Structure 1
């Protein structure tokens, strides 16, 4: 496991912890996001949000996801920190989205609530 993979693992665990510590914004949400971090081996993560509970897994079943977000580590970290807007990342090719575009927009809005 590379240092970069460990860092992404930690980030995903932190996201899960933050969402579950303050579940109010996700209490009525039902979405499964697949993050495909392109520049690391085994960089596929599922974030499942169901009725106020968030769970991150390394499950690689891409068919489970409502929305697939594909980006490199740098873009992923900037996206999470709010330093890269999803629409800008998408328009400049730093983010590729497959699936429900509405869910992708919902994710960005949700993450802003946890800054």
Structure 2
């Protein structure tokens, strides 16, 4: 879009380097998380700095602190809710959920989210959880290489919930809850049918054609799922 409107409108993205104290942050970390945050003022000042630039400044992904440093700001304690207190990095700037949760706990806050592994261990009952545990045990680098996608399952019925299978990164993983990034394929179905499908008692193609399975996203990866199930079935 920046290229499309170059010379007419400047288009840039602005992102915080640290957590910003908002209602959303309190929901994630509780009221104690505020001391680890900066005030929204830093984003306002960074936005003003961008607006002060000519239209030729376009197509940039800007981090608030880095931009303000370029404008001569060196004292960032003025933006801190609790000056001098260690700050949490923003969730989307290459920080692992486990590390974020640990930092929040170290600094006195109670995170309201869990990493995928912690969530799976907390949901251990029922056929869906057992199926995902079996899938996790069957994952490998080779399976990831042959698939290259992330599948998210939104299940209804007797065992509702959202789960994902990451077959894109490292040696693969599973998790309870939505995938932290963007899932390539999202599948919706009844939890009982899900268990049948991974047990080899229901083919994904037939489930899709009969309306028992709804798919959004990359259909080529969705098709790979049936081949993947054939590989996994012997191990499940």
Q: TM-score, normalised by structure 2?
A: 0.42
Structure-2 residue corresponding to 1:19: 139
2:227 to 103, 106, 109: 109
Q: Is the contact made by 2:185 and 2:219 (CA closer than 8 Å) also made in structure 1? A: yes
Q: Is the contact made by 2:153 and 2:187 (CA closer than 8 Å) also made in structure 1? A: yes
- The one-character-per-residue Cα deviations of 1:17-43 (angstroms, maximum 9, x if unpaired) are 1113xx433334321100111114651
The separation in 1 between residues aligned to 2:146 and 2:189, in whole angstroms, is: 27
The separation in 2 between residues aligned to 1:18 and 1:42, in whole angstroms, is: 23
How many residues align? The count is: 111
CA, structure 1 residues 84+50, in 2 after alignment: closer, same or farther (shift >3 Å)? same
Structure-1 residue corresponding to 2:217: 99
Q: Is the contact made by 2:185 and 2:222 (CA closer than 8 Å) also made in structure 1? A: yes
CA, structure 1 residues 42+78, in 2 after alignment: closer, same or farther (shift >3 Å)? closer
Structure with the higher fraction of residues in strand conformation? 1
The separation in 2 between residues aligned to 1:5 and 1:100, in whole angstroms, is: 31
Structure with the larger RCO, 1 or 2 (CA within 8 Å, 6+ apart): 1
Moved more, 9-18 or 56-65: 56-65
CA, structure 1 residues 5+44, in 2 after alignment: closer, same or farther (shift >3 Å)? farther
CA, structure 1 residues 28+88, in 2 after alignment: closer, same or farther (shift >3 Å)? closer
Aligned residues: CA RMSD: 2.5
Moved over 6 A (4+): none
Q: TM-score, normalised by structure 1?
A: 0.81
- The one-character-per-residue Cα deviations of 1:63-104 (angstroms, maximum 9, x if unpaired) are 611001111122111211222111211111110001111111
**Which is greater in Rg?**
2
The separation in 1 between residues aligned to 2:225 and 2:160, in whole angstroms, is: 22
SS in 1 for 2:128: helix
The separation in 2 between residues aligned to 1:29 and 1:112, in whole angstroms, is: 13
